[in-house]
């Protein structure tokens, strides 16, 4: 029924994977051969080769997901992958894919998602490739994929009818490949039950504590229903936007103060719920809110680490922690207190993989709403939500109590990220070059009455495999622990996105409850002056402030 064909093609030259996979507008992916070329490049670059390999495939359900799944099934069969598991409906969250790879010992996985970017015909699409440890392909593999894409002359595809991907348990033979349609939710729920005290959390949710979870019409809807309602017994009303939609209901499936505004408003009401949370398109990000309080992701990873032994899965304590370079240093202080190492990695989850595999770290996180641990090799949105619920259930206090107590002990790292999106790329690159040139003069200078202790372009030396990843962002670190960081985004699809990360620190108890933008005002002004961002880009104000 299926006939393998070798289709002639030409390289596209723009298939270089970014911070997390290849992310482009849907329209770009819909060009003839575009998706096929990239998938063939992945197969050609697969560590260990395609022969006898097994993969899992799933996506966040965004527009073009189903079409892409059919193409990839047929290409996998033609390329002699021996076993392919596909999440029913073509659905699987990123952490669930990671779990599946690890649990079943697969060679890797393909995730169809542009994460938190908008979907629909005018939105974005993306392809991520994960390796056998369950994590995103490291740079040596993504570089290889890119190289293979540049050398591509043809791809292999099994021509034949589309497959029914909606029946859980269905098994097909296509060419010599075994194709299994699997439940994308079940194994993930079991994993969560093995880490957290579900009975304790269930008692909390039955005892007058009110939570609300917003899936932003993205992939976590079915996972959240299975966990919070079916398993933990929370009322149906705690779920918001839990019906996955190909265009995410027209919104950005990005859990932050701008795109999850409805949830933020609910939580800001004095009679609002006790706990609010949201996740992104593919389920790896999380936002945590208490009544009238937003927990910054940098604080969240520090607080979870400080409370790790509250959770059955981390009873033995942590072997170490890690954060991406722009993430605030709140985690470093917890690590110091716990007497464990804190690693600083470049932006992107792939850099945590080696540390997790080597048993150097247990928990890690990024300021960009990513938190996770060694239970999978991806950040994990619902895991973070359950972690918070487990702590709250055990301690019997509010989110605000937990956060205030933490600040009182460790001090507070005020933190904000200013994004200048869809900037004209030429100006953005010139600005970064000019900053780089200024670095030698900045070291040791005094800015806004603070002495600069270090000014550099961050370069990471992986302690496990010795690889080096440079040019990861301009850092200006002050003696009083304040920091200003500049990076160009590696996930945007329109123009360039400049991210400026600003951090200030205080241990003064009278200063713990300030407004973040007010507390950081002089550092924010300084960040604009040093970079001359307006002169280079014509932009005065950021498009998103988190
Ligand atoms: C952004 C975040 C980064 C995260 C990535 C994938 O990348 O900043 O922390 O790992 O999305 O979710 P960026 O656009 O900054 O390159
Ligand atoms: Zn994501």
Q: Where are the domains of the chain?
A: 3-184, 188-410, 412-545
Beta bridge partners of 91: 59
**Region of poorest pLDDT, from 41-45, 250-254, 363-367, 382-386:** 250-254
- The residues carrying an active-site annotation are 115
The answer, yes or no, to whether any atom of ligand 1 lies below 6 A from the CB of 115, is yes
Burial of residue 404, with CB atoms counted within 10 A of its CB: 0-12 exposed, 13-18 middle, 19 or more buried: middle
Residue 309 has what DSSP assignment? G
CATH class of 412-545: alpha beta
- Section 171-178 average pLDDT: 96
Q: Would 3-184 and 412-545 be classified into the same CATH topology? A: no
- Section 209-220 average pLDDT: 96
Q: How far is CA 510 from the centre of its chain?
A: 34
Query: CATH second-level architecture of 3-184?
Result: 3-Layer(aba) Sandwich (3.40)
Tell me the pLDDT band of 249, cut-offs 50, 70 and 90.
very high
Count other Cβ atoms within 10 Å, centred on residue 515.
9
Give pLDDT, residue 18: 85
**Structure-token pair, residue 159:** 């021509």
* Ligand 1 atom with minimal separation from the 115 CA: 12
Looking at the predicted structure, is the pLDDT value of residue 492 above 80? no
In the β-sheet with 239-240, what is the strand arrangement from edge to edge?
239-240, 211-214, 275-279, 286-290, 293-295
Cα–Cα distance between 11 and 3 in angstroms, integer? Answer: 24
Distance in Å, CA 204 to ligand 2 centroid: 28
- Section 332-359 average pLDDT: 96
The answer, yes or no, to whether any atom of ligand 1 lies below 6 A from the CB of 20, is yes
Tell me the pLDDT band of 448, cut-offs 50, 70 and 90.
confident
Of the CA atoms within 13 Å of residue 92, those in its CB half-sphere come to: 33
Strands (DSSP E) found in 9-51: 22-25
Q: What is the pTM of this model?
A: 0.93
Q: Which CATH number fits domain 188-410: 3.90.110.10, 3.40.120.10, 3.40.50.150, 3.40.50.300?
A: 3.40.120.10
Cα–Cα distance between 52 and 508 in angstroms, integer? Answer: 60
Cα–Cα distance between 46 and 479 in angstroms, integer? Answer: 45
Give pLDDT, residue 104: 97
Tell me the pLDDT band of 266, cut-offs 50, 70 and 90.
very high
- Section 230-236 average pLDDT: 96
The backbone torsions φ and ψ at residue 249, rounded to the nearest 5 degrees and listed phi first, read: 70, 20
What mean pLDDT, rounded, does the chain reach? 95
17, 18, 20, 486: which to mutate for ligand 1, most atoms within 8 A of CB? 20
Give pLDDT, residue 300: 98
Helix (H, G, I), strand (E, B) or coil at 217: coil
Give pLDDT, residue 511: 86
The answer, yes or no, to whether any atom of ligand 1 lies below 6 A from the CB of 490, is yes
Give pLDDT, residue 510: 86
- Section 261-280 average pLDDT: 95
Looking at the predicted structure, is the pLDDT value of residue 217 above 80? yes
Give pLDDT, residue 527: 96
Maximum Cα–Cα distance for the chain, whole Å? Answer: 74
* Per-residue CA distances from 51 to 7, 96, 129, 157, 537 (Å): 20, 24, 17, 16, 49
Cα–Cα distance between 284 and 254 in angstroms, integer? Answer: 11
Token look-up 């998103």 returns 544
């Amino acid at each position: 029924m299926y006939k393998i064909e070798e289709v002639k093609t030409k390289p596209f030259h723009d298939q270089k994977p970014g911070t997390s996979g290849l992310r482009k507008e849907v329209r770009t992916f819909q060009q003839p051969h575009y998706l096929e070329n990239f998938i063939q490049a992945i197969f050609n670059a697969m560590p260990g080769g395609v022969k006898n390999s097994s993969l899992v495939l799933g996506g966040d359900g965004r527009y073009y997901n189903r079409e892409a799944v059919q193409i990839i099934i047929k290409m996998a069969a033609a390329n002699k992958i021996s076993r392919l598991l596909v999440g029913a409906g073509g659905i699987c969250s990123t952490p669930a894919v990671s779990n599946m790879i690890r649990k079943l010992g697969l060679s890797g996985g393909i995730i169809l998602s542009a994460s938190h970017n908008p979907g629909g015909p005018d939105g974005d699409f993306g392809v991520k490739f994960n390796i056998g440890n369950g994590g995103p392909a490291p740079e040596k593999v993504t570089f290889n994929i890119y190289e293979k894409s540049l050398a591509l002359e043809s791809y292999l595809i099994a021509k034949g009818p589309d497959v029914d991907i909606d029946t859980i348990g269905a098994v097909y033979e296509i060419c010599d490949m075994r194709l299994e349609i699997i439940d994308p939710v079940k194994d993930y729920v079991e994993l969560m039950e093995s880490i957290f005290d579900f009975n304790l959390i269930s008692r909390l949710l039955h005892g007058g504590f009110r939570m609300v979870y917003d899936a932003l019409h993205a992939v976590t809807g079915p996972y959240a229903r299975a966990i919070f309602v079916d398993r933990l017994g929370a009322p149906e009303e705690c779920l918001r936007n839990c019906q996955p939609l190909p265009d995410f209901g027209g919104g950005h499936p990005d859990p932050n103060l701008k795109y999850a505004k409805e949830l933020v408003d609910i939580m800001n009401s004095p009679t609002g719920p006790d706990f609010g949370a949201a996740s992104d398109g593919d389920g790896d990000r999380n936002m945590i809110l208490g009544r009238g309080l937003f927990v910054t992701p940098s604080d969240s990873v520090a607080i979870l680490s400080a409370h790790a032994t509250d959770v059955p899965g981390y009873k033995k304590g942590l072997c170490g922690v890690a954060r991406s370079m722009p993430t605030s240093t709140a985690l470093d202080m917890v690590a110091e207190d716990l007497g464990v190492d804190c690693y600083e990695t470049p932006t992107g989850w792939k850099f945590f993989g080696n540390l997790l595999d080597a048993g150097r770290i247990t928990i890690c996180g990024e300021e960009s709403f990513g938190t996770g641990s060694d239970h999978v090799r991806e950040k994990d949105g619902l895991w973070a939500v359950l972690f918070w619920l487990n702590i709250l259930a055990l301690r019997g206090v509010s989110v605000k109590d937990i956060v205030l107590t933490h600040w009182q002990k460790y001090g507070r790292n005020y933190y904000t990220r200013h994004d200048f999106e869809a900037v004209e790329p030429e100006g953005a690159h010139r600005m970064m070059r000019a900053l780089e040139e200024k670095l030698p003069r900045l070291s040791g200078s005094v800015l806004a009455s603070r002495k600069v202790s270090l000014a550099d372009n961050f370069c990471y030396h992986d302690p496990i495999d010795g690889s080096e990843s440079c040019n990861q962002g301009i850092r200006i670190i002050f003696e009083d622990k304040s920091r200003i960081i500049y990076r160009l985004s590696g996930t945007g699809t329109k123009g360039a996105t400049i991210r400026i990360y600003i951090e200030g620190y205080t241990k003064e108890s009278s200063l713990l409850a300030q407004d973040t933008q007010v507390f950081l005002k002089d550092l924010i002004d300084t960040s604009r002056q040093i970079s001359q961002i307006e002169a280079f880009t014509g932009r005065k104000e950021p498009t998103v402030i988190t």
